[in-house]
Amino acid sequence: MRSTERDTAGQVAEAGVSAPPDSVLGRVALLLSAFDDRSPRLGVSELARRTGLAKSTVHRLTGEMEAYRLLAREGTEYRLGGWLFELGELVPTTRTLAEAAQPIMEDLREATQQRVHLAVREGTDVVYVSIMGGTAMGLMSRVGGRLPAHATGVGKVMLAYSSRAVIQEQVAAGLPQLTPRTIGTAQELELELRRIRSIGMSLEAGESHEGIACVAAPVFGANRRIIAGLSLTGFAGKIDPVTLGPAVRTAAFMLSRTLREQGI
Amino acid sequence: MRSTERDTAGQVAEAGVSAPPDSVLGRVALLLSAFDDRSPRLGVSELARRTGLAKSTVHRLTGEMEAYRLLAREGTEYRLGGWLFELGELVPTTRTLAEAAQPIMEDLREATQQRVHLAVREGTDVVYVSIMGGTAMGLMSRVGGRLPAHATGVGKVMLAYSSRAVIQEQVAAGLPQLTPRTIGTAQELELELRRIRSIGMSLEAGESHEGIACVAAPVFGANRRIIAGLSLTGFAGKIDPVTLGPAVRTAAFMLSRTLREQGI
DNA sequence: CGCATGCGTTCCACTGAGCGGGACACCGCT
DNA sequence: AGCGGTGTCCCGCTCAGTGGAACGCATGCG
């Protein structure tokens, strides 16, 4: 699964200038996005290679970034710095959402013995905000990881309760195929979203990763607008919508109510 | 407690240039550090006021930062952006540490019915990496929050097993008094650390916040070096070291072994 | 109703921050 | 010794970036 997760470099490339980002901020962003799951520690030369920046530029920038704890040195290499973790925890909604969801997710995991996912939408991707249920079932989703919304259970259920503009944006992004079963056309998506609205949850089987299935339900905020998606995920054989569906839906309702009470 | 937590603005100010940070990165850092717990959303003028930058500069920078999802717009205000959360989850050790600790912390909370803290050291502060046990007992520690190491249970226990250089650095930072009971002199600290080493855990009562007590134990990594601190925290009357001490120590040992097995 | 005060936005001329080519010292290999 | 790799440093050219000032638009107050 890891291999199909979008890395942030791709995100940044999408976000704007790609080849030579002619601004300091662009270069800094490029440097930050050079780090990922598989390469958490990088040297100056490697960073220069990945970003296309001059080695001297990288050297100076990394030095300055270290001063602000955006990066940290370990020997002669750099890793992402502690300030990023602290800032990440200050990002509104994600933190409060994860906190409010924690007990509910624990109960849901306990009751179903499946992996529980909480995700929000960021543009055309979903971002996992909290995950419960060990890494026993292999690499897989990661907190902070991204996946195209139309290819995941949580993503589809969030799209189903989103505005038309959001769905059009999703279609415009091209509906990339993660597996042969990924939804590929606007018509298919439209149909699927209608089906989801009619049953109040979304099902997914092998649309994001071969052999993995998922049941997801929508989480609403104070204003009745969709905020997040809650899902149970596991190997295709283990996920039975008939038994698990009501469980996720109940948990999602409970979370929605909690959020409403807290004014989130 | 919130009021005594060091905000990141202070951190940045410490880190280097304070008045006019004559570099783009400095200005960006200044903008990011303008956001905190209490003011998660800020407008251009307010940002200009807090940072001392020209309004036009803030306007342009925030626009660019939005493009990289370092900030996000909500109406006419800005909040910290989703990319920061994603980057924060990529910071090495914190994420892996929190993941490995999750089940152990859950059990510890269940067994003791107290708030469980996992923290690492960053410079002379501790940073909370994971917290379990609702917000029922009022505002308090926050994931991603910082506190001077010498004033907290987790901090003291980490110092007790750190190198002499680290302790000297701590003393050099001035041992700020959070409460009348906070350790204030190098001698006191030296004595306390020796006591901690002799019993394998640290106790704290009202040294960081009035009326709050805490029992903490050290967490070691693969190389037998101190990595984190694990603690139980609650109202002074509720924390009995005799019964809770063995629990935290056991949990900390278990976590250390888990980390060792995973090569962290 | 004007007037005042706040907001976000835009324009633009000056200038020094920041870029990167290139040179350097230092490894560990062969 | 020679080589290919690393991290570090210097320095002259240039344009990205700065901030003062002016703008249009909401508020709210007298």
**Could you read off the pLDDT of A164-187 as tens digits, one per residue?**
999 999 999 999 999 999 999 999
Strand A77-80 with A115-122, pairing? unpaired
- Whether residue A11 is predicted with pLDDT greater than 80 in this model: the reply is no
Q: Which single residue is written with the structure tokens 């226990």? A: B157
CB contact under 8 Å between B144 and A94, yes or no, is no
Neighbours of A152 (CB within 10 A): 31
Residue A6 CB burial class (10 angstroms; 0-12, 13-18, ≥19): middle
Q: Give the confidence band of B22 by pLDDT, cuts at 50, 70, 90.
A: confident
Q: Which residue out of A12, A30, A41, A91 would a mutagenesis test of the B interface target, given it has the greatest number of B Cβ atoms within 10 Å?
A: A91
Predicted confidence at residue A4, as pLDDT, reads 38
Using C1' positions and the CA of A76, the closest nucleotide is: D7
- Indicate if CB(B39) is under 7 A from strand C: no
3 state DSSP class of B264: coil
Give the number of other CB atoms < 10 A from CB of residue A52: 12
Domain B2-88 CATH class label: mainly alpha
Stretch A210-232: mean pLDDT, rounded?
94
Helices A82-90, B8-15: axis angle to 10 degrees equals 150
The predicted structure's pLDDT at residue A259 = 96
Q: In angstroms, rounded to a whole number, what is the distance separating the alpha carbons of residues B175 and B84? A: 31
Alpha-carbon distances, residue A59 vs A20, A45, B104, B200 (angstroms): 17, 9, 41, 42
Asked if A124 and A149 count as a contact pair (C-beta separation under 8 A), the reply is yes
Which nucleotide C1' is nearest B20 CA? D18
Asked whether B213 and B233 are in contact (CB, 8 A), the reply is yes
Whether pLDDT at B80 is above 80: yes
User: Is A122's pLDDT higher than 60?
Assistant: yes
Angle between helices B55-67 and A24-33 (to 10 degrees): 30
B-chain residues within 8 Å CB-CB of A35? 90
pLDDT of B14 strictly over 50:
no
pLDDT of B244: 97
- Section A61-69 average pLDDT: 96
Residue A145 has pLDDT above 90, yes or no: yes
> Domain limits of chain A?
2-88, 91-262
Please indicate whether the domains covering A2-88 and A91-262 agree at the CATH topology level.
no
Quick check: helix, strand or coil at residue B204? Answer: strand
Other beta carbons within 10 Å of B73 = 13
pLDDT the model gives residue B133? 85
CB A143 within 8 A of CB B89: yes
Label residue B151 by pLDDT band (50, 70, 90): very high
Q: Mark residues 26-85 of chain B whose C-beta is closer than 7 A to nucleic acid strand D.
A: 27, 53-57, 60-61
Asked if A76 CB < 7 A from strand D, the reply is yes
3-state SS assignment for residue A240: coil
Q: What is the mean pLDDT of residues B145-159?
A: 97
pLDDT of residue A132: 93
Q: Which of B41, B45, B43, B16 is nearest to B29 (CA)?
A: B16
User: Which residues of chain A have a CB within 8 Å of the CB of B223?
Assistant: none
- Closest residue of chain B to A73, computed from CA coordinates: B92
Given this model, what pLDDT does residue B49 score?
Answer: 96
**pLDDT tens-digit profile of B219-254?**
999 888 999 999 999 998 889 999 999 999 999 999
What pLDDT sits at residue B12? 39
Over pLDDT 70: what percentage of chain B?
90
The partner residues of B212 in beta bridges, in order of sequence, read B235
Q: Is B183 within 7 A of strand D by CB distance?
A: no
The CA–C1' separation of B24 and D15, in angstroms, is: 15
- Could you confirm whether domain A91-262 is CATH 3.30.450.40? yes
* B44 pLDDT higher than 90: yes
Which long-range contacts does B213-216 make (Cβ < 8 Å, 24+ apart)? B213/B238, B213/B239, B214/B117, B214/B152, B214/B153, B214/B154, B214/B239, B215/B153, B215/B239, B215/B241, B215/B244, B215/B245, B215/B248, B216/B117, B216/B152, B216/B153, B216/B154, B216/B156, B216/B157, B216/B248
Q: Is the pLDDT of residue B184 over 90?
A: yes
Average pLDDT over residues B69-82: 96
Q: Do B129 and B98 form a contact (C-beta atoms < 8 A)?
A: yes
C-alpha B205/C-alpha B183 separation (Å) is 11
Residue of B nearest to A146 (CA): B86
Cβ-based contacts of B82 with chain A (< 8 Å): 91, 94, 122, 127
Q: Among A1-10, A117-126, A127-136, B32-41, where is mean pLDDT lowest?
A: A1-10
How much is the pLDDT for B4? Answer: 38
A28, A120, A248, B263 from A261: Cα distances, Å: 40, 19, 20, 43
Please list every residue in chain A whose beta carbon sits closer than 8 Å to the beta carbon of residue B108: none
Instruction: Name the residue in chain A with its Cα closest to that of B16.
Output: A67
Q: Specify the residue for token string 């980002």.
A: A21
Range list of H helices, B17-54? 24-33, 44-51
